[in-house]
């Protein structure tokens, strides 16, 4: 909180704020009237089944697509992101479900992929491999990830470990907002727990996190805010203190529609 001139508290501007955002693809309305806020040191969870509009929402925040209606603001300033590069330059890092890694390359190479530091004088500059190895190990360790060998191919790591490397990479390169696309979707219970631990670690380092998921149990373990999408529209927007896990699960499962289906099946 900051103070106004009169001494009354004033809320900090959200790192990312969407207000009534809509997106059309031709005649298809992918998003309509979606509102959410992402604050530093908090996790905003976006929940919905397939086709709910989660992917479109990610693309707007990541700069892949521009919204057609409503407003997108960064640090309180209304803006339109023209590209993923601009989003990254503004501190928004997106980690997609399929992860942009090269399986046969070592962990350190993937950690710096596309941003390799170099040493020497042109035209004899070369990659600073020792620096990349040391930095990768140190940054992973700072996030609580203790890899014995950063020279091992990243493809030999578990799905959860690869997600954690991607999170640590985003933190190292100065992200203020971390968008995670279904990071636990293809993982078992133990690996999902490991990933959620590092999601919480990113939050504790002051990042604003957007966690996209269809799993209300995972969301409730770490979430501070919950936005529920259904067929492109927002059907719920709650803070953690205002909703229980049971009610979040009920809304995610369809709420009244599920009750109607239950009664219909019983009659049959």
Identify the CATH class of 11-103+177-267. alpha beta
Residue ranges covered by each domain of the chain: 11-103+177-267
Kindly state the average pLDDT of the residues 119-133: 86
Reading the block at residue 138, the tokens are: 């140190």
The whole model's pTM is what? 0.84
Residue found by looking up tokens 């493809």 in the block: 155
Report pLDDT digits (tens) over 210-253.
Answer: 999 989 999 999 999 999 999 889 998 999 999 999 999 888 87
Q: Is the dihedral angle over the CA atoms 52, 209, 185, 214 positive or is it negative?
A: negative
Q: Is the pLDDT of residue 260 over 70?
A: no
Per-chain mean pLDDT for the chain: 87
- pLDDT on residue 158: 84
Kindly state the average pLDDT of the residues 186-192: 85
Peptide bond into 123 cis (omega under 30): yes
Report pLDDT digits (tens) over 62-114.
Answer: 999 999 999 999 999 999 999 999 999 999 999 887 777 888 999 999 999 88
Q: Which residues contact 201 (CB under 8 A, 6 or more apart)?
A: 143, 144, 167
Q: Is the pLDDT of residue 7 over 70?
A: no
């Amino acid at each position: 909180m900051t103070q106004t001139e009169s001494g009354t508290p004033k809320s900090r501007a959200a790192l990312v704020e969407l207000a009534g955002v809509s997106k059309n693809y031709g005649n298809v309305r992918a998003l309509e009237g979606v509102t959410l806020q992402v604050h530093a040191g908090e996790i905003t969870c976006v929940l919905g089944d397939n086709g709910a509009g989660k992917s479109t929402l990610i693309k707007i925040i990541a700069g892949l697509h521009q919204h057609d209606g409503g407003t997108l603001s960064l640090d309180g300033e209304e803006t339109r992101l023209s590209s993923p590069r601009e989003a990254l330059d503004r501190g928004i890092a997106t980690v997609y479900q399929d992860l942009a890694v090269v399986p046969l390359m070592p962990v350190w190479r993937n950690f710096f992929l596309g941003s390799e530091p170099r040493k020497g004088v042109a035209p004899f500059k070369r990659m600073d491999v020792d620096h990349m190895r040391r930095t990768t190990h140190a940054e992973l360790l700072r996030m609580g990830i203790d890899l014995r060998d950063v020279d091992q191919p990243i493809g030999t790591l578990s799905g959860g470990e690869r997600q954690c490397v991607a999170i640590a990479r985003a933190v190292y390169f100065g992200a203020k907002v971390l968008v995670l696309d279904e990071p636990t979707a293809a993982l078992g219970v133990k690996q999902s727990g490991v990933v959620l631990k590092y999601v919480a670690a990113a939050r504790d380092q002051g990042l604003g996190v957007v966690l996209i998921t269809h799993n209300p149990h995972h969301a409730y373990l770490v979430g501070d805010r919950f936005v529920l999408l259904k067929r492109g529209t927002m059907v719920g927007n709650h803070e953690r203190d205002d909703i229980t896990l049971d009610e979040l699960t009920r809304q995610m499962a369809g709420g009244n529609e599920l009750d109607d289906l239950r009664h219909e099946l019983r009659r049959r």
